[in-house]
Structure 1
Amino acid sequence: MTVRFNTVDVDGLKMFYRSAGEPGAPVVLLLHGFPSASHMFRDLIPELAGRYHVVAPDLPGFGMTEQPARSAFAYTFANIAKVIGRFTEVLGLEKFAIYVFDYGAPVGFRLALAHPERIAAIVTQNGNTYLEGVSEAFAPIQAYWNEPSQANRDALRGFLAPQTTLFQYTNGVPDPALVSPDGRNLDDFYLARPGNDEIQLDLLGDYKTNVALYGEIQAYLRNRRPPVLAIWGKNDPFFIPAGAEAFKRDVPDAEIRFVDSGHFALETHAREIGAAMRDFLGRRVG
């Protein structure tokens, strides 16, 4: 299995992505979350590449993808979803399963709303689109949504601190010694780049538009009934198990599974999640 590390021009934006597997195989698009990048899939990609053409981009403002100035690029989820849509077009990906996690969920679900015909299946790993999946940990962010003052914006800077990254990676993991420090340290490196803090605060503020879209996304799930696998780190402090169970309300045959891990479940359960995905995609997509 060979992983390739690529850069492609998407309407003037240099986007970095990882790819593996035969180009003619069914496509799985992996969409990462905050504050990570496609490196979070380093252990999952080998689990899938034997059967699928796996493509994992870094979102704009994350990882190795270009970070345009805020004056030149709107850091909103709607705009990032448009970029990912164009990314799939530039690569010639006409139909694909999506794996969505954290920020990757609103990006992937917006892509599904815009191009439902492209979505072969949805695997959501702590990728929420239901109010019951949002924990109280979002309270400081919600305060900024309700009153977007400078003081409330500055109160969110703690979300960008190394101790918060460590918390995201290890909270809810029965044995934190199983979590490699490499991923979180790389995330902290990207967060520390000049100007990235303001980009991330823009996105934390814009996340309210994702919550506002929940009803529309749920209607899409109800009407289109895409195959859904919700495989969740059950101890996630941000997106709680009720958010996984809720998918059955709109897609009755959605498959719900839990692993004994936290938010970044791939850090401890990549092999188990990969096996579940192979089984699910093999039965539901081919």
Structure 2
Amino acid sequence: MKPMANKRQGNQTIITEFVLLGFGNLPQLQILLFMLFLVIYIVTMAGNIIIIALVVANQNLHTPIPMYFFLWNLSFLESCYISVTIPKMLVNFVSEERTISFTGCAIQMHFILSLGTAECYLLAAMAYDRYRAICSPLHYPTIMNPRACAKMAIACWLCGILMPMGKVIWIFSLPYCGPNEINHFFCDIHPVLKLACGDTSRSEVFIVLISLIITVIPFLMVLVSYACILYTILKTTSSEGRHKAFSTCSSHLTVVILFYGSACAMYLRPKSSHIADVDRVVALFYTVVTPMLNPMIYSLRNQEVKVALGRLMRRKSFIGWFWWSG
């Protein structure tokens, strides 16, 4: 392994790069893990690209514009999300150095937090869309018009870019004077903070507060939306209407539970409960497993998506287009 890269500033050693330990404690499984995560990455990218292609190419999915417009955004976001971590992991599986520069670590952390934040707010926007569709069906086309949907999507992406920025700047403005081994497979908050010199208690309080704002506000929006949806469904006398409403929301609700559950388990726990091996498993779930499952959840539980997928797979032009675009 490469020795610690550093430079001296006065009497203090300053870290210039980190070493991502990842799964280096399993040397006999490196090739197997490489193949496993390569397959996961290919399956995830293919699934999300297919969802994007379905929405773009199939006019039948343009009728309920907001739902599939947000689904397109979610698939694009998940493709970016998994691309921030897995390619570097794959390189580390076949490399002995496993290093990442100080700046590269900050950039990776910012992208992970930004995309995670954007997904929090995008899932809240999708919940609001379902609330309007079920609770205000007559006014739905007017309220959730294309312009309003575009503004909501832009707001979600801006929240993702801007809200974690202060957190990342704060973390990487701390002094790092050694050691430089991050006991994780990417630059996550708590493993990096453990390497900071001096007292980090204020930083941790600040980070928890920002994490609460990022996760709790959109989660409350989701809860309120689904409380109103549940109230409306319970008032519906038709069993067919209830079934249709539940099936409309089931895919989104499943994704919400998976994503918010794992994210809250990671970032809203007290410092004393953070164990490296547990953190790696939880992080794998929301950075790797969830992006892989989302396309499957939406394609297997959504009848319109399944019909559109079958229609497009029967078109030779789609197969040729997909091969060319890849």
Q: Return the structure number with greater strand share.
A: 1
TM-score under structure 1 normalisation?
0.30
| Greater fraction helix | 2
Higher relative contact order (CA 8 A, sep 6+): 2
